[in-house]
Structure formats: structure tokens, C-alpha cells
């Protein structure tokens, strides 16, 4: 593509080229991420001041901004240096004072001569029973009073920039804003009652009343939609790029899947059956699959993944399942092995630990097609890993994976289908922002046999009762996790360390019963401690959060989380999901240090009331906001200047279907609306999208 369209040049110039913006102001504006007129256009007023004229200040609710015509009375110079300079004024019903500090008497005598009429506007307050206006914002003769706006926009500011400077700069930027071709679907624009782009900007910067500042006002909603549309177009372009890369039809015979179903002790849930049907249909089509499988803790993603991999094998190809860590990859292997054996399929593991001859043998078996399903870590990405015929790539726990890596993995199997699994339920708005390029399948029911987990809040003071409860459970042959927030004792946050808790529990429950796992341990020690717990040699595993992903111990039925108030909601939900995987009834005890803050209390009570991960994710989003939820830094989450992902997720959903439809009708964006959309992508700096269109 040739480069930024010329029509946008004026608003992509340096902010210093605007009238009234000097070098110093430009430096200050940089703190607000404003370096060009374009950034000013998208920095909207956040509030406003009503400056409509009134006959008198009487009846005003102090403190309040008022605009009123007065007759100037006596000047009272300060008695001591630096004291306040007061001027009596009278409106149509009452008298009050204007107050100035560090004022020059000659200047005040010139602008407020005794006996003259003036229109003044500013904040009026009561001070010792006297109504005062300190440093009015506007002082004008009545014939010039029209200069005072009836409703004045209030902009976000930074040190060194005043409202006046900001307002003037925004107006100067508006003078530069071009009239751009329309990229919104005409029918939709008419239905929503949205103005044109330029009109929307002008109105957003000159609100006439408080209602105009609402995100739901037509002009603001339109501008938010533009941001969503540019973002969703980028994702839709990435998606169509993947789809247009020719896929191939992979159709299973059902033979191997039937063997697995016969070996299962239960029937799949409706959600599992539905998700698998969606995946099978994608795999059977000529275009490449790019699908996200979202499932709550314990919703049975592994079975869906295996059946999808078996479709690839039934069609004569291979499948790969990638996990972020070795411990998870091994666990996938353990989980899949009995089922793969039932189907008579060869399954193998490839991690960074494979070296020398053993690795070479695996690579050869992979290249010849003997290994039908490979489980691995990122080691699968390495240059020398070649498949005979890779049909399906599944990536587990994808939030460590951006759009870019998805395109990367797609290159391994030139035309492999792609399925991404995540165990972190994501609220709809974030799913749209992060995975808008993918089709989504949701597992929202628990498989039969998963018993509900009883969750209780217990104050730290009752810790002895909790230990007593554990002693009885161990005697009955059950196992428990005890999660601690920190490894080393820190003086600042006096959280009980794992080591201390380990010693304390060992003393209470007996030497051999308690194991310890924390982040500072060497990997093999950690694996060994985990393995002992898995085999049932230890009954209680004291751990930091290293256990939150993965490890399956069906016999563990108790989860104690110490200082639960210091964890995030999603993390607590993931930890709780470690129990309730076997036959026994399970409990989760949230130990907290009273008094609980409001937010902490909301987190813990939400957890006690529901096991629905999607509901929990929504609450988490309300509490923390989008950036925190995924950690904006590494999430690849877009930063919008006007749009708000949390409150406007419905608008984002419309933008997604609109972007996909636009690309379906005009894949190269060469029609009139397509060309307008290209301008939008440049305007919103969606560089990634621009390289994806490629042709100009």
C-alpha cells in the first residue's frame, strides 16, 4: 500500500504546527500522548460547565459556576501585602464580592471601573457567610458578553496546560479536520441516527448540555464505533488472510472416535457435542479453521480436543497439541494416553528436554507419519520439526499467544486447521477484542459426575479449626491443597510464607503427610513433590500458585486458600477448579484477614455464590477493568481513546459482524466503502491491517 492518504496529512502533522501551540505546550501535551492534531481530535471533553446567564446569584447552590451581569461597586485594596483584593458588585437582586489574590490595583481599576456594567462568569462560594467569586473566568462588557459560551467543554489536562490552551488547541485541530468518505454501512448509520465523521467530531467538541457528554450521545457513539470498526477490521483481515490461505477438507470416518466413546465411562455433554460438530464442520470445509474453544474449569475440553485430533488421523493426517509448559504438556499426554490407546493411535511427546538420539528418533517418526498425534511445548516450533501431513494444530492456554503467533503456527502445516483452547472464561467484550479474528465455541456445561464444590469464607482467626478439619479428612484417606500467597516472608506485606505454613502443618499433621512446592524450587524438585502428591504419598500439598494450571489429582477434595483476599477473582476460580475432579464431595475454604475491604468482599462472596466461570469473569471485569484483567502490556489489547470495551461491548459486536460482512463483499477493499475503510485504518493507525491488505 502506497502510504498514508494525502487527505490525512494535515491532522498527522506536528502538534506544534497548530496556532497557539508552542514548543513548551507541545512538550506538556506529550504527557497525554498528544503529538499530532489527530490525537487532539480524539481527546474529547470529559465534563462541561454551564455558563448560561442568570439574573442573580441568589438561589444558586453554592459552590456553583454562575454567569451574571453586575454593576461594579467599591474597590477594597488589601490591608497587608499579598492579602486579598476585594471588589463589591451588585446584580439585580443582591450584592456579593469579587476576590483577587496578588492582584495589580491599576489593572483591576481598568477592567472593573466603579459604576460600570460587566458580565462575569465564575465559581461562586460562601465564605464566612459572604458570597464570593474568586478570580472570575470571564469579565466582559455587556456588548461583548456573547463571547462567553453557554456551555463550556472541560478537557482532561496535564501539568502546564490550562483549559483555555486545551480548548483553543482542540478548536485549531478541528479547523484542520478533513471531510472523509463514509466507511459506515449507510443503513446502519441511518438506523443509529449517527452524524458524519466530521460533524460528529465538531459536536463532540462543542457539547451544548451535560447529556452531550454521554457515551450514548449519537456523536460520541459514532466515534467509538469508528475505533471498534478499525480494530475489528484488522482482526477480520487477519482472519480472512488465514482463511484465504487454502485450507483442505479434512473429513473423519468416525471410526476412531467411536472407539474412544465406547471406552468412556460417561456420555459427552450437549456443549461438548455441539462444539465438536462446529469443529468438524470447519475441518471439512476448504477454508482453514481458526477457532477458539472456551471452556470453564473442568468443562471437558480435553475430550473435544482429542476427538478433533482423531478426525485428522481418520483422514490420514496428523495432529499436534501444544501447551505452554512442560508440566502441562505431560499432563495432556497422561490424560490422552488411555483414550488414544483405546483408539489404537500412536501418541508421543516432544519438549525441550528431548536431546540427541532420542529426539532424532522422534523427529524421524514424525516425518514418516508413524507418530499420529504429537503433544508438545513451544519446542514444536523449531526449524527441524517436520510433519508428514499436519492437519490440525491445537494450542492450549492461548493468552500467551497473539494474532502474530497464530499466523506463525499456521505456517508449520502449510494448510493446517487451527484450534485454540483456553480455560480462562473471557467476558464477551474482551473475547471480541482479543479473538475477534476467530470463530468461538463455548463449553458452558459441566460433564456428568463433576460434583459442585462447597465454598466457605473463614476468618484467619479460626485457622486451628481448619487444621483440625484437615486432620479428620486425612484420616479418611483424602487429600488437600493449601495455597499460600508468598514464598519469602516480606516485612512489608506480612503474608504467611509457604515455608512457615509447611513447618506448622507438618508439626500438626505429622512429618510424612505434608509436601511443599513453590516457585523458587528447582524444576525437578518441584516435579518430584508434585508426583508424590499425585501418587498419594503425601496428603497435603502446601503450594504457592504454581498449581493453578493443570495438575490433576482426583483424590484431592479440599482446597484451602490462605489470605484469599490478596488473590484476583479469576485466579481464585482457577485454584478452586483443582478440586472436585474425583468421586468425593469437595470443599474450598477461603481464609481471609478481617476486616475485608469492599472490593475484596465482593470478590470472595461472588466466588462463594457461583461456580460459573463466565459470570465470575464478568464480575472481575466490572471490578478491575479490561486493562487489568489481561494485563494490557502483554495482552495485545487495543487502547481506545473514545470507545470503552466494558460498557460498549454490544457496539463492538456490531462492529465485528460489520467488518466481516464488508470483507466478504469486498475482500480487497477496492469498492467505494472499501476505500473509505482503508482511510479509516490509516486514521486509526492500524498498521498491522494495512500490511495485511498489502496491495494498494
| Number of domains observed in the structure of the chain | 3
Same domain, 59 and 86: yes
Whether the CB-CB separation of 4 and 678 falls below 8 Å is answered with no
User: Please, where are the H alpha helices in 586-648?
Assistant: 598-609, 613-624, 626-630, 632-635
The domain in which residue 139 lies consists of: 52-148
Same domain, 432 and 570: no
pLDDT value for 35:
86
- Compute the average pLDDT of residues 280-297: 86
Same domain, 480 and 343: no
- Among 127, 148, 169, the domain-final residue is 148
pLDDT value for 517:
83
Q: Tell me, yes or no, whether 133 lies in a domain.
A: yes
- Compute the average pLDDT of residues 71-88: 84
Neighbours of 413 (CB within 10 A): 22
As a residue count, the chain comes to: 696
DSSP conformation letters of 176-228? H---PPP-S-HHHHHHHTPPPHHHHHHHHHS-SSGGGGSTTSHHHHHHHHHHH
Same domain, 478 and 601: yes
Q: Is pLDDT above 60 for 633?
A: no
Rounded to the nearest integer, the mean pLDDT of the chain is 82
Q: Tell me, yes or no, whether 186 lies in a domain.
A: no
> How many Å separate Cα 70 from the centre of its chain?
53
Same domain, 265 and 401: yes
- Among 128, 148, 168, the domain-final residue is 148
Give the model's confidence band at 245: pLDDT under 50 very low, under 70 low, under 90 confident, else very high: low
Give the model's confidence band at 662: pLDDT under 50 very low, under 70 low, under 90 confident, else very high: very high
- Torsion of Cα atoms, 104 then 107 then 109 then 110, to 10°: 180
Same domain, 325 and 428: yes
Report the alpha-carbon distance of residue 408 to residue 5 in Å, rounded: 30
> How many Å separate Cα 522 from the centre of its chain?
33
Same domain, 596 and 457: yes
Q: Is pLDDT above 80 for 337?
A: yes
Report the alpha-carbon distance of residue 613 to residue 555 in Å, rounded: 23
Q: Tell me, yes or no, whether 694 lies in a domain.
A: no
Whether the CB-CB separation of 391 and 416 falls below 8 Å is answered with yes
Residues 520-569: pLDDT tens digits? 777 778 778 888 888 888 999 888 765 645 567 778 889 999 888 888 78
pLDDT value for 638:
64
Give the model's confidence band at 677: pLDDT under 50 very low, under 70 low, under 90 confident, else very high: very high
**Residues near 669 by beta carbon (within 8 Å), at least 6 away in sequence:** 662, 663, 675, 677, 678, 693
Whether the CB-CB separation of 1 and 694 falls below 8 Å is answered with yes
Q: Closest Cα partner for 477 from 520, 400, 539, 396? A: 539
Same domain, 378 and 461: no
Q: Tell me, yes or no, whether 693 lies in a domain.
A: no
Q: Tell me, yes or no, whether 582 lies in a domain.
A: yes
432: domain CATH number is 3.40.50.300
Q: Is pLDDT above 90 for 115?
A: no
Same domain, 364 and 416: yes
- Among 416, 443, 470, the domain-final residue is 443
Neighbours of 93 (CB within 10 A): 11
Residues 369-417: pLDDT tens digits? 999 999 988 777 777 888 898 899 898 865 455 555 555 555 555 678 8
Q: Tell me, yes or no, whether 585 lies in a domain.
A: yes
Q: Tell me, yes or no, whether 182 lies in a domain.
A: no
- Compute the average pLDDT of residues 463-477: 90
pLDDT value for 611:
80
493 grid coordinates: 506485606
Same domain, 260 and 398: yes
Q: Is pLDDT above 60 for 628?
A: no
Same domain, 303 and 425: yes
Report the alpha-carbon distance of residue 188 to residue 44 in Å, rounded: 24
121: domain CATH number is 2.40.50.140
Same domain, 286 and 427: yes
277 vs 355: which has the higher pLDDT: 277
- Compute the average pLDDT of residues 246-259: 85
Sheet holding 586-592, edge to edge: 453-459, 586-592, 556-561, 479-483, 540-543, 514-517
- Provide the total of helices (H) and of strands (E) in the chain, helices listed first: 25, 21
Q: Tell me, yes or no, whether 158 lies in a domain.
A: no
pLDDT value for 620:
77
Q: What are phi and psi of 344, to 5 degrees?
A: 70, 40
Amino acid at each position: 500500500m502506497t502510504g498514508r492518504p494525502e487527505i490525512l496529512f494535515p491532522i498527522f502533522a506536528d502538534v506544534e504546527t497548530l496556532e497557539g501551540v508552542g514548543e513548551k505546550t507541545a512538550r506538556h501535551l506529550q504527557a497525554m500522548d498528544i503529538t499530532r492534531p489527530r490525537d487532539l481530535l480524539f481527546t474529547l471533553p470529559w465534563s462541561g460547565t454551564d455558563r448560561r446567564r442568570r439574573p442573580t446569584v441568589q438561589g444558586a447552590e453554592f459552590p456553583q459556576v454562575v454567569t451574571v451581569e453586575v454593576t461594579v461597586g467599591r474597590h477594597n485594596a488589601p490591608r497587608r501585602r499579598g492579602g486579598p483584593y476585594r471588589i463589591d458588585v451588585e446584580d439585580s437582586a443582591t450584592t456579593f464580592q469579587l476576590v483577587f489574590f496578588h492582584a495589580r490595583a491599576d489593572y483591576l481599576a481598568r477592567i472593573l471601573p466603579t459604576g460600570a456594567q460587566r458580565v462575569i462568569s465564575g465559581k461562586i462560594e460562601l465564605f464566612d457567610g459572604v458570597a464570593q467569586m474568586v478570580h472570575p473566568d470571564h469579565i466582559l462588557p455587556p456588548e461583548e458578553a456573547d463571547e462567553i459560551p453557554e456551555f463550556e467543554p472541560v478537557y482532561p489536562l496535564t501539568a502546564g496546560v490550562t483549559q483555555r490552551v486545551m480548548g483553543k488547541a482542540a478548536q485549531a485541530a478541528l479547523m484542520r479536520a478533513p471531510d472523509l468518505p463514509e466507511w459506515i454501512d449507510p443503513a446502519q448509520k441511518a438506523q443509529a441516527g449517527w452524524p458524519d465523521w466530521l460533524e460528529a467530531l465538531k459536536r463532540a467538541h462543542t457539547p451544548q448540555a451535560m447529556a452531550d457528554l454521554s457515551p450514548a450521545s449519537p456523536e460520541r457513539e459514532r466515534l467509538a464505533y469508528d475505533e471498534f470498526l478499525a480494530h475489528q477490521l484488522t482482526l477480520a483481515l487477519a482472519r480472512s488472510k488465514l482463511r484465504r490461505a487454502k485450507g483442505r477438507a479434512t473429513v473423519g470416518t468416525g471410526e476412531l472416535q467411536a472407539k474412544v466413546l465406547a471406552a468412556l465411562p460417561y456420555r459427552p455433554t450437549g456443549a461438548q457435542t455441539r462444539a465438536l460438530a462446529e469443529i468438524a464442520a470447519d475441518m471439512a470445509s476448504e477454508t482453514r479453521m481458526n477457532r477458539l474453544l472456551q471452556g470453564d474449569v473442568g468443562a471437558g475440553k480435553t475430550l473435544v480436543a482429542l476427538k478433533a485430533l482423531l478426525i485428522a488421523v481418520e483422514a490420514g493426517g496428523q495432529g499436534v497439541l501444544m501447551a505452554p509448559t512442560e508440566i502441562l504438556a505431560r499432563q495432556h499426554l497422561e490424560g490422552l494416553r488411555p483414550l488414544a490407546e483405546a483408539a489404537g493411535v500412536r501418541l508421543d511427546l516432544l519438549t525441550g528436554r528431548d536431546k540427541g538420539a532420542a529426539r532424532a528418533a522422534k523427529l524421524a517418526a514424525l516425518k514418516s507419519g508413524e507418530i499420529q498425534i504429537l503433544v508438545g511445548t513451544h519446542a514444536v516450533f523449531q526449524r527441524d520439526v517436520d510433519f508428514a501431513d499436519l492437519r490440525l494444530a491445537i494450542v492450549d492456554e492461548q493468552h500467551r499467544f497473539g494474532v502474530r503467533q497464530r499466523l506463525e503456527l499456521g505456517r508449520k502445516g502449510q494448510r493446517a486447521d487451527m484450534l485454540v483452547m483456553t480455560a480462562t472464561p473471557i467476558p464477551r467484550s474482551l473475547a471480541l477484542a482479543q479473538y475477534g479474528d476467530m470463530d468461538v465455541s463455548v463449553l458452558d456445561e459441566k460433564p456428568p459426575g463433576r460434583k459442585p464444590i462447597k465454598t466457605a469464607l473463614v476468618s484467619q482467626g479460626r485457622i486451628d479449626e481448619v487444621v483440625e478439619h484437615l486432620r479428620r479428612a486425612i484420616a479418611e484417606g483424602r487429600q488437600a491443597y493449601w495455597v499460600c500467597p508468598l514464598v519469602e516472608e516480606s516485612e512489608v506485606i506480612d503474608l504467611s510464607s509457604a515455608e512457615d505454613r509447611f513447618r506448622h502443618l507438618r508439626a500438626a499433621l505429622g512429618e510424612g503427610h505434608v509436601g511443599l512446592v513453590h516457585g523458587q524450587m528447582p524444576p525437578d524438585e518441584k516435579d518430584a513433590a508434585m508426583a508424590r502428591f499425585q501418587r498419594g504419598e503425601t496428603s497435603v500439598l502446601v503450594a504457592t500458585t504454581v498449581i493453578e494450571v493443570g495438575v490433576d489429582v482426583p483424590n484431592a477434595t479440599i482446597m484451602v486458600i490462605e489470605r484469599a483476599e490478596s488473590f484476583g477473582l479469576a485466579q481464585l476460580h482457577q485454584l478452586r477448579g483443582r478440586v472436585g475432579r474425583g468421586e468425593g464431595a469437595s470443599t474450598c475454604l477461603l481464609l481471609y484477614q478481617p476486616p475485608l475491604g469492599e472490593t475484596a468482599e465482593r470478590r470472595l462472596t461472588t466466588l462463594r455464590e457461583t461456580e460459573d466461570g463466565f459470570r465470575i469473569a464478568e464480575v472481575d471485569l466490572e471490578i478491575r477493568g479490561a486493562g487489568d484483567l489481561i494485563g494490557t502490556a502483554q495482552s495485545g489489547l487495543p487502547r481506545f481513546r473514545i470507545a470503552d470495551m466494558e460498557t460498549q461491548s454490544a457496539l463492538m459486536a456490531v462492529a465485528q459482524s460489520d467488518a466481516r460482512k464488508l470483507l466478504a463483499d469486498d475482500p480487497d477493499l477496492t469498492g467505494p466503502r472499501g476505500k473509505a475503510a482503508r482511510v479509516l485504518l490509516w486514521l486509526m493507525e492500524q498498521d498491522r491491517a494495512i500490511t495485511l491488505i498489502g496491495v494498494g
